[in-house]
């Protein structure tokens, strides 16, 4: 049997139903009223779409802000047939491809690169998640929320079109095995932007609970400004009366708040706990869950949280690739904030407004050891490191080979085995000064 979205129960149908002459429920009556309004309407919520058969395309222009409706063929064209060369990645929703739209495609749409996300029909997320993104991102605009350019709802196809973010996501930079480690101030800047995004969501008339805050959902622009993405699991609180919604605990292992996992209690404090987990990942450069580690250290929160409140133990968990190039006072303030966010008692956690106020001044702390950009040239069979060049902010070091020095025969074999992979595991450390000098921009964005 051919799969079709029409064969399953959906919150709405994207195909206009011309046979329906009258509204049969309050939500539909409200949507029909909004679709006829020419002025700016009141806000639409997820619950307004429950059991409604009205077409999303029929009233989208009534409440969505600058959102374009694309045909499937148009999106196929701008991604060159969803070519593997334009493939960016894949998540629970589906595959993501890079595309480019020109200003002749849609009236009012400027030429720009975009990211096109296609819902996979056999995936774990479905129409409700697609709809949540359209409704939330279609109405909420903020510098730290990814911008939704448009969507496609045609036959069995469900696609979303976003602005393209040049530097991918935080996960790719924070946990990369090779290349330079993210500088301390850059990490703070990224998490501060994400905190502002969560704060904006929580301050809505009906607070929006993000429910899936994690590094892979924090996208980065060319100057490392951060934006929240992937709102498929988000809720605006209007669905709380739906028993099927409240009973389903969704999210990513290691980031969900304990009260949400155990009892399904979902509040803005659930997002605060997830934010605390990502803060801890920022400090340690370790994943929330690492199954390959010993049982005691698999869960990052259980292992590291006790050490956050002890200044004498705090240094043990700090990302060693930073090599001391951070503000000691800033590290301690972030550690205290992280400890509070990870409290098992939701009432003891700070609000995102408090988190923003805590992180903002850390960018101005000056007690940072600004070192040069360091690049380690890997040489097979190396044993010692010597400086061979130093120019401006760039320092290059070369590892001396075994042929150039004499090693005790008894220790030679052991040293060779221990050292041969060490160079490839080394990570270059960029100071914030050197990194932003190379980017041709500054860490701070001046206010207009």
Active site residues: 212
C-alpha dist (Å) from residue 355 to 201, 246, 350 = 14, 27, 7
CB 84 within 8 A of CB 97: no
How many CB atoms within 10 Å of residue 355?
26
Q: What is the DSSP-derived secondary structure letter of residue 346?
A: G
Q: And the tokens for 342? A: 């990870």
Query: Is 403 one of the annotated binding-site residues?
Result: no
Beta bridge partners of 229: none
Q: How far apart are CA 270 and CA 207, in angstroms?
A: 12
Q: How far apart are CA 161 and CA 100, in angstroms?
A: 11
C-alpha dist (Å) from residue 5 to 131, 155, 242, 400 = 13, 8, 22, 63
Q: What is the DSSP-derived secondary structure letter of residue 313?
A: H
Place of tokens 């595959």: 95
CB 44 within 8 A of CB 82: no
Beta bridge partners of 158: 153
Dihedral in degrees, nearest 10, Cα atoms 211, 216, 218, 219: -140
Q: How far apart are CA 275 and CA 271, in angstroms?
A: 6
SS3 label, residue 190:
helix
How many CB atoms within 10 Å of residue 143?
13
* Beta strands at 157-163 and 112-119: parallel, antiparallel or unpaired: antiparallel
CB 339 within 8 A of CB 308: yes
Q: And the tokens for 280? A: 């801890």
Q: How far apart are CA 350 and CA 345, in angstroms?
A: 11
Beta bridge partners of 376: 397
- The size of the chain, in residues, is 448
Q: How far apart are CA 309 and CA 314, in angstroms?
A: 7
Transcribe 411-429 into DSSP letters. HHHHHHHHHTTHHHH---B
Q: How far apart are CA 224 and CA 61, in angstroms?
A: 32
Q: How far apart are CA 153 and CA 12, in angstroms?
A: 11
Cite the annotated binding site for ATP by residue number: 117
């Amino acid at each position: 049997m051919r799969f079709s979205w029409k064969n399953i129960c959906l919150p709405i149908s994207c195909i206009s139903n011309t046979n329906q002459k009258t509204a049969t429920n309050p939500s539909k009556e409200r949507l029909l009223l909004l679709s006829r309004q020419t002025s700016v309407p009141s806000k639409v919520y997820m619950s307004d779409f429950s059991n409604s058969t009205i077409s999303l395309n029929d009233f989208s222009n009534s409440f969505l802000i600058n959102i374009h409706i694309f045909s499937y063929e148009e999106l196929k064209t701008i991604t060159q047939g969803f070519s593997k060369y334009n493939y960016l990645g894949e998540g629970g929703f589906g595959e993501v491809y890079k595309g480019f739209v020109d200003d002749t495609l849609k009236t009012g749409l400027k030429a720009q690169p975009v990211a096109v996300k296609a819902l996979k029909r056999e995936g774990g997320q479905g129409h409700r998640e697609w709809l949540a993104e359209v409704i939330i991102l279609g109405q909420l605009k903020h510098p730290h929320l990814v911008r939704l350019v448009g969507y496609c709802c045609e036959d069995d196809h469900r696609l979303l079109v976003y602005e393209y973010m040049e530097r991918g996501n935080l996960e790719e930079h924070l946990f990369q095995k090779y290349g330079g480690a993210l500088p301390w101030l850059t990490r703070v800047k990224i998490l501060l932007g994400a905190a502002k995004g969560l704060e904006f969501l929580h301050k809505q008339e009906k607070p929006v609970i993000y429910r899936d805050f994690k590094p892979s959902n924090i996208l980065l622009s060319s100057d490392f400004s951060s934006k929240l993405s992937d709102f498929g699991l988000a809720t605006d609180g209007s669905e709380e009366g739906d028993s099927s919604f409240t009973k389903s605990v969704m999210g990513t292992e290691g980031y969900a708040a304990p009260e949400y996992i155990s009892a399904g209690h979902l509040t803005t404090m659930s997002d605060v706990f997830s934010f605390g987990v990502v803060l801890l990942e920022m400090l340690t450069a370790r994943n929330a869950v690492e199954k390959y580690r010993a049982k005691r250290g698999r869960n990052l929160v259980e292992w590291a949280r006790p050490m956050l409140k002890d200044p004498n133990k705090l240094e043990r968990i700090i990302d060693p690739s930073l090599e001391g190039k951070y503000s000691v006072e800033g590290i301690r303030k972030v550690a205290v904030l992280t400890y509070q966010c990870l409290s098992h008692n939701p009432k003891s956690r700070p609000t995102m407004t408090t988190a923003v106020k805590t992180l903002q001044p850390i960018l101005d702390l000056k007690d940072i050891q600004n070192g040069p950009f360091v690049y380690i040239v890997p040489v097979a069979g190396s044993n010692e490191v010597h400086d061979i060049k130093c120019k401006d902010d760039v320092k290059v070091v070369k590892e001396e080979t075994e042929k150039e020095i004499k090693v005790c025969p008894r220790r030679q074999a052991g040293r060779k085995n221990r050292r041969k992979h060490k160079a490839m595991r080394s990570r270059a450390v960029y100071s914030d000064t050197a990194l932003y000098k190379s980017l041709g921009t500054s860490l701070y964005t001046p206010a207009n």
